[in-house]
Structure 1
Amino acid sequence: MASFQHTADESGDVSSSEEMDSGSDSEEELGEGSEVQKAGSDAKSGVTTSSTTTAEANTMKKELSTMSFEDIQRLRDKIGTKTYNQALHGSNSKRDQNKVFKRANKNRPVEMSSKCPPPRIRQVVPIKKKIHRDPRFDDLSGEYDEKIFEKSYSFLDPMKAREKKYLEKQLRKEKDEDRRRNIQKLIRRMEQQERTKRQEDIKEKALKEWKAKEKELVKQGKKPYFLKKSDEKKLVLAQKFKELKKSGKVEKFLQKKRKKNAARDRKHLPTDS
């Protein structure tokens, strides 16, 4: 008991001998755990567990196995939980915490110790955040102008024509029904886009000619007139008829129109009961 008091006084952890005397009763009760107390006092005074051999550690564990739970708890409260764990399980020094684990294979992940708590303030490398920008809804891209857009991407028209010819060629060679349906779907979509583009061009041309004439009449003193939707449709239809007449497809267009009207009228005819 005197050796334990002397060691504690040298480490500076015990302020007076009265405090040590107050625990003398509990020490007498823990006579069997003298080796654990000595190891605990050595760990508390700064002695590392490197001086404690494996045999001594096994001896301490055997002595603890014969002690009651209340005695072990009193011993832990007296010397402290940290000192108790250091004496029983080994040192908790930074040297042991920073132990470098070796890998059996270089392709395996590095083993990390679970005894090293992460720092409260993480040193995270700052990464510049990427800002994704959609040009369709961003003012930095400017206002959308259909004329400028079509002029800028006019080089795509011959590419689309070549792609359509290639698909038609593949359709004639393809024998798989699923692939044939996919190719036909692509061709129909491209044809629909071409028809829509032609109709927009016809409408634009008709309105452009009318606006030019109306502008000249306004200069001569005529009151400005703004087209209605019905008048705009008539202009587009007249311009379409002119385009068909130039290409020689008026008869074909009229025949197709008559067939469509006949099928529509046939639906309204009474059926035989």
Structure 2
Amino acid sequence: MFFRDKVAKVSLRDMLEIQERLGTKNFTKALQKEAEENDNDDDDDNNEQFTRKAQTSTTIKKPISTERTSKLEPLEISSKRQPAKKDQIPVHLRGRRKLIDPRFNEQFGDYDAKEFRQSYHFITDMRRKELNDLRKQLKTSEDPTEKMKLKAVINRLVCFF
């Protein structure tokens, strides 16, 4: 009871330092001894469950290897752990999410061209400003290769409108 009371009053950082000094196994054993002394009245089943839980928490889990000797060989999955959701979905059903086009889906409502133009008018203003800037650059540039590139970009923007 003495050890458990000390640990209860200590901050988490200090408790972790104590655990590092003693070692995880020794730390849990000390807590178990305290618990066994306090729980002498309880059933033996409860003590066994407590010790099993403490033992499983201190053991290091081994990484599961998913390597196969042959690509045709089935993947071996443990029955003790729940398989991931992606493993439960058949391979032919896995894939990209189905894309929905809002133009043809009634869930998104009716398309109003006037409202769309009013909402996104700032984009056309930005394009016009960019086009004017490119035309100014074209007039000031003297390099013929740069002029060709600027003309191509301007043509692309004009065709895009």
| TM-score, scaled to structure 1 | 0.24
| TM-score, scaled to structure 2 | 0.37
Larger-gyration structure (1/2):
1
**Greater RCO (CA < 8 Å, at least 6 residues apart):** 2
